[in-house]
Amino acid sequence: MVNNRTDLELITSLVDKEARILDVGCGNGELLKSLKNKKNVKGQGLELKQERVNKCVAKGLSAIQGNADSDLSLYPDQSFDCVILSQTIQATNNPKNILIELIRIGKKAIISIPNFGYWKVRLGFATHGKMPITEKLSNNWYDTPNIHLCSILDFVDLCRELNIKIEKTIVLNSNNTKSFNGAPNSWSNFFGEEAIFLIKN
Amino acid sequence: MNSDQNKLPCSYFTDNKPLLLENGTSIDELTVAYESYGKLNKDKSNAIIICHALSGDQFVASKNPLTDKDGWWARMVGSGKPIDTDKYFVICANVLGGCLGSTGPTSINPKTGEEYGLNFPVITISDMVNAQLRLIQYLEIEKLLSVIGGSMGGMQVLEWAASYPDKILSAIPIATSSRHTAQNIAFHELGRQAIMADPDWHGGNYIKAGSNPTKGLSIARMTAHVTYLSEASLTKKFGRRLQDKEEISFGFDADFQIESYLRHQGLTFVDRFDANSYLYITRAMDYFDLEKTHKKSLTEIYSKTNIKFLITSFTGDWLYPPSENLMIVRALSAGGADVSFVNINSDKGHDAFLLEEPEFDDAMRGFINSVSLEANI
ipTM score for this prediction: 0.82
Chain A residue nearest residue B306, CA to CA: A42
Which residue of B300, B329, B340 to mutate against A (max A Cβ within 10 Å)?
Answer: B340
- The full DSSP string for A7-73 is HHHHHHHHSPTT-EEEEET-TTSHHHHHHHHHH--EEEEEES-HHHHHHHHHTT-EEEE--HHHHGG
- Residue A14, domain member (yes or no): yes
> Would you call B370 and A56 a contact, using CB atoms and an 8 Å cutoff?
no
- Residue A126, domain member (yes or no): no
The total domain count for chain A is: 1
- Residue A137, domain member (yes or no): no
- Residue A133, domain member (yes or no): no
Q: What is the pLDDT of residues B85-122, one digit of tens each?
A: 999 999 999 999 999 999 999 999 999 999 999 999 99
Q: Which domain holds residue A51?
A: 4-116+148-200
Q: State whether residue A156 sits within 8 Å of chain B by CB.
A: no
Q: Spell out which residues of chain B touch residue A50, defining contact as CB-CB under 8 Å.
A: 342-343, 345
How much is the average pLDDT of B290-308? 95
pLDDT at B23 over 60: yes
Residue B347: pLDDT band with limits 50, 70, 90: very high
Return mean pLDDT, chain B. Answer: 95
For the domain with range B185-281, which CATH number is right: 1.10.1740.110, 1.10.620.20, 3.10.20.340, 1.20.1440.120?
A: 1.10.1740.110
Residue B6: pLDDT band with limits 50, 70, 90: low
What's at B85, amino acid-wise? Answer: T
- Look at residues B79, B62, B67 and name the one whose alpha carbon lies nearest to residue B11: B62
- Look at residues B54, B286, B314, B355 and name the one whose alpha carbon lies nearest to residue B175: B314
Q: Are strands A42-47 and A62-65 parallel, antiparallel or unpaired?
A: parallel
- Residue A128, domain member (yes or no): no
DSSP H or E run through B89:
strand B89-93
> Would you call B343 and A56 a contact, using CB atoms and an 8 Å cutoff?
no
pLDDT reported for residue B70: 96
> Would you call B359 and A75 a contact, using CB atoms and an 8 Å cutoff?
no
- Residue A124, domain member (yes or no): no
Q: Where in chain B do CATH 1.10.1740.110 domains reside?
A: 185-281
Q: What is the pLDDT of residues A67-94, one digit of tens each?
A: 899 889 988 899 999 999 999 999 999 9
pLDDT at B1 over 50: no
Catalytic residue among B107, B350, B351, B372: B350
Catalytic annotation on B52? no
- Residue A194, domain member (yes or no): yes
Catalytic annotation on B68? no
How much is the average pLDDT of B254-268? 96
pLDDT reported for residue A6: 83
CATH superfamily, domain B4-179+290-374, is Alpha/Beta hydrolase fold, catalytic domain (3.40.50.1820)
pLDDT at B3 over 50: no
User: pLDDT by residue for chain A (201 residues), tens digit each?
Assistant: 566 778 899 999 999 999 999 999 999 999 999 999 999 999 999 999 988 998 899 898 999 988 899 889 988 899 999 999 999 999 999 999 999 999 999 999 999 999 999 999 999 999 999 998 888 888 999 999 999 999 999 999 999 999 999 999 999 988 889 999 999 998 999 999 999 999 998
* C-beta separation of A199 from A103 below 8 A: yes
- Residue A139, domain member (yes or no): no
CATH number, domain of A46, equals 3.40.50.150
Q: What is the pLDDT of residues B115-168, one digit of tens each?
A: 999 999 999 999 999 999 999 999 999 999 999 999 999 999 999 999 999 999
> Would you call A44 and B329 a contact, using CB atoms and an 8 Å cutoff?
no
pLDDT reported for residue A2: 63
- The full DSSP string for B146-212 is EEEEETHHHHHHHHHHHH-GGGEEEEEEES--SB--HHHHHHHHHHHHHHHHSGGGGGGTHHHHT--
